[in-house]
């Protein structure tokens, strides 16, 4: 199983970046996939999630209207388009996958709201996003 992130880097405030997460080794359609981020000294935060099994998406409040998550199931890849970036978006961004087959009761992106309760099945190694002011 692999989740490989790409697309991080240094950008000025107000700029844009697109992260990609390429998944392999598991059935992509049975998982909610998305992004967490973490800065030193703080807990990992669920940023955004997408799931085809229940047609669900999730964004944390601080990125709504600025970030857009999308999925290319043919390529087993999830993207996070990040616009209007702010210095407070600076973090290591981790791709994550949570098992949620079609027909499961509840919300597939619940793990992004409460990761400690639900538990993430797979993690990528992370990609650094730095937004300068």
State the DSSP string of 17-77: EEEEEEEESS-GGGEEEEEEEE-TTS--EEEEEEETTTTEEEE-GGGTTTEEEEEETTTTE
Ranges of the chain whose pLDDT falls below 50: none
Other CB atoms within 10 Å distance of the CB of residue 76: 19
Predicted pLDDT of residue 59: 98
Distance CA 26, CA 55 (A): 19
Predicted pLDDT of residue 52: 86
Predicted pLDDT of residue 116: 84
Predicted pLDDT of residue 93: 98
Other CB atoms within 10 Å distance of the CB of residue 128: 12
Distance CA 44, CA 9 (A): 19
Q: 């998982």: which residue's tokens? A: 31
Predicted pLDDT of residue 23: 97
Predicted pLDDT of residue 124: 98
CA angle 92, 97, 102 (to 5 degrees): 150
Q: Name 3's bridge partners.
A: 23
Query: What does the block give as tokens for 107?
Result: 């919300």
Predicted pLDDT of residue 92: 98
């Amino acid at each position: 199983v692999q989740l490989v992130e790409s697309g991080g880097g240094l950008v000025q405030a107000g700029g844009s970046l697109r992260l990609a997460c390429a998944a392999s080794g598991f059935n992509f359609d049975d998982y909610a996939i998305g992004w967490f981020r973490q800065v030193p000294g703080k807990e990992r935060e669920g940023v955004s999630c997408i799931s085809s099994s229940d047609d669900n998406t999730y964004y944390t409040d601080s990125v709504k209207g600025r970030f857009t998550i999308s999925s290319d199931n043919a390529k087993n890849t999830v993207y996070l388009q990040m616009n209007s970036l702010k210095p407070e978006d600076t973090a290591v961004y981790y791709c994550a996958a949570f098992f949620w087959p079609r027909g499961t009761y509840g919300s597939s992106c619940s793990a992004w709201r409460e990761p400690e309760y639900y538990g993430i099945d797979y993690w990528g190694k992370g990609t650094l996003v730095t937004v300068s002011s």
